[in-house]
Structure 1
Amino acid sequence: MKRPFPLPIRLRLTLWYLVVLGLLLLLFAGFLYLQLQRTLFNQMDTALELAAVQAQVMVVEQDGRLAFQSTPNSQTLSRRLDDDFAISLLSDSGELLDQLTSDDDIPLILPSGAGPFTLADRAEMWRSYNLPVGLPGSNQTGWLQVSQELEPVQDTLAAFRNQILLGLPLALLLAGLGGYFLAGRALRPMDRMTQTAQASSGQDLSKRIQHQGPADEIGRLAQTFDAMLDRLESAFRREQQFTGDAAHELRTPLTALKGQLEVTLSRPRQVADYQNTLQAMSQQVERLIHLSSSLLYLSRLEQDQLPLSPEIIIVADFFNALLDQIRPLAQEKSIQIHTNISADLQFHGHLDLLIRLFLNLLDNAIKYTPVNGRITLKAATALPNIIITLHNNGQPIPPEHLPHLFNRFYRAEAARTRTETGSLQGAGLGLAIAQEIAKIHQGEISVTSQPKAGTTFIVTLPATAV
Structure 2
Amino acid sequence: MFFLRFGKSTIRTRLTAWYVLLLGCTLVLFSTYLYVQLENSLLGQLDTALQVAASETFTEVIEQDAHPAFKIRKQSATITRQLANAGFTVRLISPKGEVWDGIGSYQIVPAIAQIKPGYTNVTEHKKIWRVYTQPLPLSPTAGWLQVAQSLEPISKASEHLRTLMLFSCPTILLVAAFGGLFLAERALRPIDRIIRTAQAIGPGDFTQRIGYRGSTDEVGRLAITIDKMLDRLEAAFEHERRFTADASHELRTPLTVMKGRLGVTLSRARTVEEYESTLQELQREVDRLIRLANGLLFLTRLDQSSSEYRHSLTNVDLNELLEILIEQIQPLAESKNITISVSIDPSLHVPGNSDRLTCLFLNLLDNAIKYTPSDGQITVRAHRERGEAKVTVTNTGKGIEAKHLPHLFERFYRAESDRSRNTGGSGLGLAIAHEIVRLHRGTICVTSQPNQLTTFTVQLPF
TM-score higher than 0.5: yes
Please state if 1:435 is matched with 2:434. Answer: yes
**Aligned pairs for 1:92-103 within 5 A:** 92-102=95-105
Determine the structure 2 residue equivalent to 1:195: 196
Structure 1 position 170, deviation (Å): 1.1
Cα distance between partner residues in 1 of 2:13 and 2:379: 70
Q: 1:331 to 1:147 in 2, by over 3 A?
A: same
Residues 334-356 of structure 1: CA deviation (Å, up to 9, x unaligned): 54433332222223433322211
2:77 aligned counterpart, secondary structure: helix
Q: AA paired with 1:20?
A: L
Residues 166-187 of structure 1: CA deviation (Å, up to 9, x unaligned): 1111111111111111111221
- Is there any run of 5+ residues in structure 2 with no aligned partner, and where? 1-6
Q: AA paired with 2:381?
A: L
Residues 382-408 of structure 1: CA deviation (Å, up to 9, x unaligned): 44x533333445555445544433322
Please state if 1:153 is matched with 2:154. Answer: yes
Residue among 38, 50, 53 paired with 2:52: 50
Structure 1 position 252, deviation (Å): 0.8
Cα distance between partner residues in 2 of 1:227 and 1:71: 95
Contact 1:445-1:457 within 8 A present in 2 as well? no
Contact 1:330-1:366 within 8 A present in 2 as well? yes
Contact 1:339-1:377 within 8 A present in 2 as well? yes
2:44 aligned counterpart, secondary structure: helix
Q: 1:309 to 1:77 in 2, by over 3 A?
A: closer
Residue among 21, 40, 43 paired with 2:42: 40
Residues 64-115 of structure 1: CA deviation (Å, up to 9, x unaligned): 1111113466523333414942112222333222110136211232675443
Please identify, of 445-454 and 209-218, the stretch whose mean Cα deviation from structure 2 is larger. Answer: 445-454
**Aligned pairs for 1:177-256 within 5 A:** 177-256=178-257
Residue among 357, 376, 380 paired with 2:380: 376
Q: 1:402 to 1:191 in 2, by over 3 A?
A: farther
* Number of positions where the alignment pairs a residue of Structure 1 with one of Structure 2: 451
Residues 339-374 of structure 1: CA deviation (Å, up to 9, x unaligned): 332222223433322211110011222334455344
Normalised TM-score (structure 2): 0.89
Cα distance between partner residues in 1 of 2:190 and 2:299: 39
Structure 1 position 446, deviation (Å): 2.1
Contact 1:78-1:102 within 8 A present in 2 as well? no
Determine the structure 1 residue equivalent to 2:303: 302
Determine the structure 1 residue equivalent to 2:112: 109
Q: AA paired with 2:11?
A: I
Determine the structure 1 residue equivalent to 2:447: 449
**Aligned pairs for 1:51-450 within 5 A:** 51-71=53-73, 74-80=76-82, 81-82=84-85, 84-102=87-105, 104-109=107-112, 113-135=116-138, 138-304=139-305, 311-370=314-373, 371-380=375-384, 382-383=386-387, 385-392=388-395, 394-416=397-419, 418=420, 420-422=422-424, 426-440=425-439, 442-449=440-447
Determine the structure 1 residue equivalent to 2:4: none
Please identify, of 18-27 and 95-104, the stretch whose mean Cα deviation from structure 2 is larger. Answer: 95-104
Residues 206-236 of structure 1: CA deviation (Å, up to 9, x unaligned): 1111222232222222222222212211111
Q: 1:45 to 1:279 in 2, by over 3 A?
A: same
Q: AA paired with 1:57?
A: T
Structure 1 position 460, deviation (Å): 3.6
Please identify, of 237-246 and 396-405, the stretch whose mean Cα deviation from structure 2 is larger. Answer: 396-405
Q: AA paired with 2:444?
A: S
Cα distance between partner residues in 2 of 1:188 and 1:75: 76
Share of identical aligned residues, percent?
Answer: 45
Contact 1:438-1:461 within 8 A present in 2 as well? yes
Contact 1:79-1:102 within 8 A present in 2 as well? no
Contact 1:341-1:380 within 8 A present in 2 as well? no
Cα distance between partner residues in 1 of 2:384 and 2:36: 79
2:144 aligned counterpart, secondary structure: strand
Structure 1 position 310, deviation (Å): 5.3
Contact 2:376-2:395 within 8 A present in 1 as well? no
1:104 aligned counterpart, secondary structure: helix
